[in-house]
């Protein structure tokens, strides 16, 4: 199985489209951070405008933690689109290329083929999130150093001591990676149904957009649907920046997301095992 | 009088009869009552045939006959609705991995990972098979198909013919006992076709591989295959030894004579006129059964006809068309 | 003899009697504070504000008369603007009208309550009420009503460890209603966040002063704004 996963990763990273996500992050984040570096204190206008009349803020609040928090907050819902580019191609790409015939006439079970591709897709998703973390925090550290993290939530402002921040980011990025694994699972599932990668890519993106819209509309029926939509849990990484951390809600979210991954993987496996390869 | 007989023998053959009494234990592929339909279309209809060890088995049929569907079922790309397939005496469903370890195949147009080199494609395909193929084996099969100089080239730069060769190379990579070839010479030039034909014959005769060969190039099957089946609309029409099937039933017998006017006269006055298919200068073509050939010869000789040659012929194309058009 | 006794009682009473002239009271306070030319101190800040959650923090305060102040911290500090400069010079800026109100006990100490109304209509402060300990000429409590920031209270405690009567503790109390929260940075859909409500409308900041270094000289460069 490890050989198969290694081969799948090799195939993934031999395609140019895989690097779109990495390049996009590598280009966008430095742009954001340099812009913040240029405008410096004005970055905190959002807080000083309202509270500056009453309070004096002392300390290096414009630091790698704040910048990384800002970045993950801004692009958390856009990263999925970079994931679908690769995940949607995992199975459908073989059909498009005509390589299913070559692949599935090897003495290897369809279970191993599907599982190794799925595992490779998950590894890619995690690598992309890790890359995001590395660029955000690494470059942020070089440009801004460390300091306390100031977070503005809807009901309050929370300041975290610098020694109390790193573990939150580790868990937040880990949670974000789990969310991206769900996106991978969705795209992978659709990839098993069709013979062209464009379909699963667009379908997954459409599902994310539709689910987000449904969650945002304040109608009773939609609000009842909300707990069942995986997008409702995609922003729960912010819970790691609460004080205290709401462990129960995080555990619930993790279980829901893990459940989505399990169900989608199983469905893909069942479909693929029975699929007639006609391409 | 001189007669030249081409063709090997004049055994009396009935269509759909297996001539040689192969014991079942030598059967490499055993297909029994295979059925497959797609929506309302019956692609394979109660198909049964055997392929024996050492055979180069021609698998023929017009477009849409069910050949590709059958081959895909043999390779577990498609599941049959009913029926059984045994390869190497083992049930295909239960022993899939074991069987595929000993089977190589090209299915239709072979496709590869275009962004990888020929060498890398074969290396990956070998790894997927569960064992690392040594570098020299990869180069060996590439040399066998004439691609050793292009091993570092990306497959997307390959011509159709080169991809076809690479397809053949991947089917031989793990030295399988059974090789299934679906249109292996498509897109090749005449030289390339000959090379592949020679390769097939070598694999069969020297390495004792069993080969299932599906091709539209009937003369190619005629040259390489020893046994064959013709299917049409999912059904088996004829199955058996190639030569025996070709020489069963009526043949086109080409007769060359020194005195064509005399022959023309006596033929038209006799019952042999009804067997005359066509004539041109000194060449007469009769449509005869095998047993009637010596009778005609005696008739001509007794009527002082200078017989230069008698050549019974039937091309596989003619035979194929006769079978499939009959079915249509 | 009786006359002598009466005179002694009168003088004693006179001595014990608090001054009721507000201007004199305030001037005494100003004079006492003028002894402090500069000081630096370590502060520990504890926030008890409904909409801010922050750990206790440490900072260093530099003060140079009459009104220079600089705060720095190795980590962070969030301090109320109004409460930092509690020097009489800052509290009693410009022309004002002072009114003696009464005497009141505060923390077991008799304090004179003086209201101060700035004469300048443009002044940010509308009214200040000071509780002054005349014995030590120190301000114990200030309640100020300002145009923008509303009413806030500063309570000062003294441990007597420094001869200049600089406070050891300061409690700054304000009305949180007046302070608007910045726009939520994160689109907080989490259930936990929705449960939070501001129960109390009052905010408090507790500042503890230690390690005073007084009148040892502080360079002006410390107070120059870092660009």
What are the residue boundaries of the structural domains of chain A, listed by start?
A: 2-273
Helix (H, G, I), strand (E, B) or coil at A12: helix
Mean pLDDT by 10 residues, chain A (279 residues): 92 91 93 88 68 77 90 84 93 90 90 95 96 94 91 84 93 95 96 91 94 86 87 90 90 95 96 88
Instruction: Give the gap in angstroms from C-alpha A55 to the nearest C-alpha of chain C.
Output: 4
pLDDT at C178: 61
Which A residues 153-212 touch B at CB under 8 Å? none
Would you state the structure tokens that stand for residue B131, as one six-digit string? 């064992």
pLDDT at B36 over 90: yes
Average pLDDT, chain B: 83
Phi, psi of A270 (to 5 degrees): -65, -45
Which residue of chain A comes nearest to C197, CA vs CA? Answer: A155
pLDDT at C197: 46
Q: Is the bond preceding residue A119 a cis peptide, omega within 30 degrees? A: no
Residue B190 is given by DSSP the state H
Contacts of A155 in chain C (CB under 8 A): 51, 181, 193, 196-198
User: Which is it for strands A149-152 and A157-160: parallel, antiparallel or unpaired?
Assistant: antiparallel
Which residue of chain C comes nearest to A236, CA vs CA? Answer: C190
pLDDT at B316: 67
Residue B154 is given by DSSP the state B
Residue C88: partners with Cβ closer than 8 Å, 6 or more residues away: C26, C29, C30, C33, C139
Q: Residue C208 falls within a domain, yes or no? A: yes
User: Which is it for strands B276-280 and B250-257: parallel, antiparallel or unpaired?
Assistant: unpaired
pLDDT at A135: 95
Place of tokens 């098993």: A192
Closest CA to B305 of B257, B237, B236: B257
Which segments of chain C have a pLDDT < 70? Answer: 2-3, 6-7, 9-19, 83, 178-200, 225-227
Give residue B27's region: left, alpha or beta (phi > 0; psi -120 to 50).
beta
Query: Does the beta-carbon distance from A276 to B101 stay under 8 Å?
Result: no
Instruction: Give the gap in angstroms from C-alpha C223 to the nearest C-alpha of chain A.
Output: 14
Query: CA–CA distance from A212 to each of A69, A199, A216, A230 (Å)?
Result: 21, 20, 6, 9
C-alpha–C-alpha distance, residues B225 and B231, integer Å: 16
pLDDT at B142: 92
pLDDT at B13: 30
Using CB atoms, which residue from A157, A164, A239 is nearest to C190? A239
Q: Residue C45 falls within a domain, yes or no? A: yes
C-alpha–C-alpha distance, residues A182 and A193, integer Å: 17
Query: Does the beta-carbon distance from B107 to A105 stay under 8 Å?
Result: yes
Would you state the structure tokens that stand for residue B279, as one six-digit string? 């004539």
Q: Is the bond preceding residue A244 a cis peptide, omega within 30 degrees? A: yes
Neighbours of B86 (CB within 10 A): 20
Domain that includes residue C89, residue range: 19-215
Sign of CA dihedral A90, A96, A97, A102: positive
Contacts of C189 in chain A (CB under 8 A): 215, 232, 235-236, 238
Closest CA to A152 of C49, C187, C48, C73: C187
Using pLDDT thresholds of 50, 70 and 90, give the confidence band for residue B109: confident
Q: Residue C5 falls within a domain, yes or no? A: no
pLDDT at B3: 37
C-alpha–C-alpha distance, residues C87 and C89, integer Å: 5
Would you state the structure tokens that stand for residue B3, as one six-digit string? 């007669």
Cα-Cα end-to-end distance for chain A: 25
| pLDDT tens digits along A175-220 | 999 999 999 999 999 999 998 889 999 999 999 999 988 888 888 8
Least confident of A253-267, B231-245, B294-308, C98-112: B231-245
Contacts of A108 in chain B (CB under 8 A): 97, 128-130
pLDDT at C206: 93
Domains contained in chain C, number:
1
pLDDT at B18 over 50: no
pLDDT at B312: 80
Burial readout C188-203 (b: 16 or more C-beta within 10 A, e: otherwise) = bbbebbeebeeeeeeb
Query: Does the beta-carbon distance from A57 to C78 stay under 8 Å?
Result: yes
Q: Which CATH number do you get for residue C57?
A: 2.50.20.10
C-alpha–C-alpha distance, residues C100 and C102, integer Å: 6
pLDDT at A6: 93
DSSP B274-311: GGEEEEETTEEEEEEETTHHHHHHHHHHHTT--EEEEE
Report CA C148 to chain centroid distance, whole Å: 18
């Amino acid at each position: 199985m490890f050989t198969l996963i290694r081969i799948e990763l090799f195939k993934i990273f031999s395609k140019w489209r895989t690097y779109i996500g990495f390049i996009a992050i590598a280009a966008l984040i430095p742009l954001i951070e340099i812009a913040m570096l240029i405008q410096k204190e004005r970055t905190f206008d959002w807080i000083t405008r309202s509270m500056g009349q009453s309070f004096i803020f002392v300390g290096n609040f414009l630091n790698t933690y704040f910048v990384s928090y800002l970045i993950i907050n801004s692009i958390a819902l856009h990263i999925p689109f970079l994931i679908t580019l690769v995940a949607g191609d995992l199975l459908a790409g073989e059909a498009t290329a005509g390589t299913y015939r070559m692949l599935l006439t090897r003495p290897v079970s369809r279970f191993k083929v599907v599982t190794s591709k799925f595992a490779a897709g998950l590894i890619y998703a995690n690598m992309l999130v890790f890359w995001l973390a590395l660029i955000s925090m690494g470059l942020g550290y070089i440009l801004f150093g460390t300091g306390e993290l100031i977070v503005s939530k809807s009901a309050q402002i929370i300041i975290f001591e610098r020694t109390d921040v790193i573990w939150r980011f580790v868990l937040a990025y880990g949670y974000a990676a789990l969310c991206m694994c769900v996106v991978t699972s969705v795209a992978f599932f659709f990839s098993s149904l069709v013979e062209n990668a464009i379909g699963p890519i667009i379908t997954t993106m459409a599902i994310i957009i539709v689910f987000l819209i449904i969650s945002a509309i304040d109608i009773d029926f939609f609000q009842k649907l909300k707990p069942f939509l995986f997008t409702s849990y995609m922003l729960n990484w912010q819970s790691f920046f609460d004080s205290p951390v709401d462990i129960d809600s995080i555990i619930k979210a993790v279980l829901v997301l893990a459940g989505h991954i399990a169900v989608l993987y199983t469905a893909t496996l069942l479909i693929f095992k029975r699929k007639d390869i006609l391409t | 009088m001189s007669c030249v007989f081409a063709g090997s023998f004049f055994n009396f053959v009935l269509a759909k009869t297996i001539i040689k009494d192969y014991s079942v234990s030598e059967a490499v592929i055993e297909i029994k009552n295979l059925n497959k339909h797609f929506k309302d279309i019956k692609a394979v209809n109660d198909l049964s045939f055997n392929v024996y060890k050492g055979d180069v088995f021609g698998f023929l049929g017009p477009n849409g006959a069910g050949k590709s569907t059958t081959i895909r079922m043999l390779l577990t790309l498609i599941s049959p609705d009913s029926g059984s397939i045994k390869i190497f005496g083992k049930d295909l469903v239960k022993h899939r991995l074991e069987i595929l370890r000993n089977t190589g195949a090209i299915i239709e147009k072979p496709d590869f990972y275009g962004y990888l080199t020929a060498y890398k494609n074969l290396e990956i395909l070998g790894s997927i098979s569960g064992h690392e193929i040594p570098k020299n084996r990869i180069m060996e099969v590439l040399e066998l198909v004439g691609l050793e100089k292009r091993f570092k080239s990306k497959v997307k730069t390959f011509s159709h013919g080169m991809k076809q060769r690479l397809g053949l190379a991947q089917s031989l990579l793990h030295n399988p006992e059974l090789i299934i070839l679906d249109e292996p010479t498509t897109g090749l030039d005449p030289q390339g076709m000959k090379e592949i034909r020679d390769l097939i014959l070598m694999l069969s005769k020297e390495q004792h591989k069993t080969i299932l060969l599906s091709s539209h190039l009937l003369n190619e099957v005629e040259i390489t295959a020893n046994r064959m089946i013709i299917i049409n609309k999912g059904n088996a029409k004829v199955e058996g030894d190639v030569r025996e099937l070709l020489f069963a039933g009526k043949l086109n017998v080409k007769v060359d004579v020194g005195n064509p006017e005399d022959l023309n006269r006596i033929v038209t006055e006799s019952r042999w006129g009804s067997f005359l298919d066509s004539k041109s200068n000194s060449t007469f073509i009769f449509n005869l059964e095998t047993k009637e050939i010596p009778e005609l010869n005696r008739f001509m000789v007794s009527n002082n006809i200078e017989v230069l040659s008698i050549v019974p012929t039937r091309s596989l194309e003619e035979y194929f068309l006769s079978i499939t058009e009959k079915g249509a | 003899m009786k006359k002598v006794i009466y005179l002694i009682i009168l003088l004693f009473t006179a001595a014990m009697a608090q001054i009721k002239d507000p201007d004199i009271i305030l001037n005494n306070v100003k004079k006492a504070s003028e002894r402090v030319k500069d000081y630096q101190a370590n502060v520990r800040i504890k926030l008890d504000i409904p909409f801010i959650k922050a750990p206790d923090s440490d900072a260093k305060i530099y003060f140079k008369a009459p009104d220079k102040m600089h705060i720095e911290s190795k980590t962070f500090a969030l301090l109320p603007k109004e409460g930092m400069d509690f020097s009489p010079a800052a509290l009693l800026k410009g022309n004002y009208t002072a009114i003696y109100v009464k005497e009141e006990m505060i923390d077991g100490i008799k304090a004179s309550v003086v209201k101060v109304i700035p004469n300048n209509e443009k002044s940010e402060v509308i009214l200040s009420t000071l509780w002054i300990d005349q014995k030590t000429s120190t301000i114990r409590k200030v309640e100020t009503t300002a145009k923008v920031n509303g009413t806030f209270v500063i309570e000062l405690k003294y441990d007597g460890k420094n001869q200049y009567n600089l406070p050891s503790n300061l409690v700054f109390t304000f009305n949180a209603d007046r302070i608007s929260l910045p726009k939520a940075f994160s689109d907080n859909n989490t259930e936990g966040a929705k449960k939070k409500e501001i129960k109390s409308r009052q905010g408090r900041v507790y500042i503890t002063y230690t390690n005073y270094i007084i009148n040892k000289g502080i360079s002006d460069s410390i107070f120059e704004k870092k660009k």
